[in-house]
Amino acid sequence: MKLIFLGPPGAGKGTQATGVSSHLRVPHISTGDMFRSAIKNQTPTGLEAKRYMDAGQLVPDSVVIAMVEERLAMEDCANGYLLDGFPRTVEQAEALEKIAAPDAVIDIEVPDEKLLDRLTGRRVCTKCSGTFHISKLADEKLCPVCGGELYQRDDDKPATISNRLNVYHAQTAPLIGYYAGLGRLKRIDGDDRPEDVFHKILSSLE
Ligand code: AP5
Ligand code: MG
């Protein structure tokens, strides 16, 4: 199964990808996570990506497409993939059609007014990469799963979040029409409990 998770920042793509990728036995490939890891390792790609990410802008198509093409050529993608955060422009979607066209595209939909709270309250574990919301944490700094230290993403500040939402509506939302036109789009109401969103995603794929 070759699957894409589309949806605005904070829709729950990363949260849902963990369970769905293990259920489908395909690797979870998040371009945002790949860039954050490249930044941590100070690679040339990471250094280039950082200035765009900090501003809430998209990293140039040529950089992202080359990175994804290389990743999809790896052995663990032989049975498919779950792409989270790619494609984000029509140019990226057209490139993916030539590399390994997706079977289905899940659009996780959440109203903008809910996204700001989800993103400003998000905390991520430095050790296991688990994602949480402060409203569900007993201790804002301690991972409830592995005990690792929690941090706030640099781009989860209100000013950057507002740029990311604008960029999503201008450059990524047109992909909803693009994939609907190809007959591969499945729309999911993401404004629901995480476990219910998970079941809706799996049912849509049956
Ligand atoms: P990326 O890391 O992909 O960020 P994003 O798309 O902005 O999405 P997020 O990771 O912020 O949200 P999510 O949908 O994964 O939500 P999550 O599950 O964490 O990209 C970062 C940057 O990298 C981009 O801005 C860009 O610069 C660059 N980049 C990446 N890919 C690129 C590309 N293809 N082209 C160009 N540039 C690219 O959940 C969020 C919060 O909500 C958490 O607190 C969570 O606990 C909570 N939550 C989740 N589900 C629910 C629920 N059902 N109910 C209540 N709360 C929930
Ligand atoms: Mg994510």
Q: Which of 167, 151, 162 is nearest to 116 (CA)?
A: 162
Q: Which ligand is nearest to the CA of 35?
A: 1
- According to the model, what pLDDT value does residue 48 have? 95
Paired sense of beta strands 122-125 and 150-151, if any:
antiparallel
Q: Is the CB of 36 under 6 A from ligand 1?
A: no
Cα(194)–Cα(204) distance, integer angstroms: 15
Locate all alpha helices (DSSP H) within 41-128, ordered by sequence: 44-54, 61-72, 90-100, 112-120
Cα(59)–Cα(85) distance, integer angstroms: 12
Q: Which residues contact 187 (CB under 8 A, 6 or more apart)?
A: 107, 109, 176
- According to the model, what pLDDT value does residue 73 have? 98
Q: How many CB atoms lie within 10 A of CB 59?
A: 19
Region 105-133: mean pLDDT is 96
| Distance from the alpha carbon of residue 172 to the mean position of ligand 1, in angstroms | 13
- According to the model, what pLDDT value does residue 92 have? 98
- According to the model, what pLDDT value does residue 170 have? 98
- According to the model, what pLDDT value does residue 5 have? 98
How far separated are the first and last CA of the chain, in Å rounded? Answer: 12
Confidence of residue 104 (pLDDT cuts 50, 70, 90): very high
- According to the model, what pLDDT value does residue 97 have? 98
Region 66-84: mean pLDDT is 98
Mean residue pLDDT of the chain comes to: 97
Q: Are 188 and 178 in contact (CB under 8 A)?
A: no
Q: Is the CB of 12 under 6 A from ligand 1?
A: yes
- According to the model, what pLDDT value does residue 177 have? 98
> Which residues are paired to 81 by β-bridges?
2
Region 169-184: mean pLDDT is 98
Amino acid at 120: T
Q: How many CB atoms lie within 10 A of CB 200?
A: 18
Region 117-131: mean pLDDT is 95
DSSP characters over 117-141: HHHHTEEEETTT--EEEGGG-SSTT
- According to the model, what pLDDT value does residue 179 have? 98
Q: Is the CB of 88 under 6 A from ligand 1?
A: yes
Q: Are 201 and 6 in contact (CB under 8 A)?
A: no
Look up the pTM and report it: 0.97
Burial degree of 139 (CB within 10 A; 0-12, 13-18, 19+): exposed
Q: How many CB atoms lie within 10 A of CB 175?
A: 20
Region 61-66: mean pLDDT is 98
Q: How many CB atoms lie within 10 A of CB 92?
A: 20
Region 180-199: mean pLDDT is 98
Q: Which of 58, 107, 156 to mutate to test the pocket of ligand 1 (most atoms within 8 A of CB)?
A: 58
**Which are the catalytic amino acids?**
13, 88, 122, 153, 164
Confidence of residue 196 (pLDDT cuts 50, 70, 90): very high
Cα(6)–Cα(104) distance, integer angstroms: 11
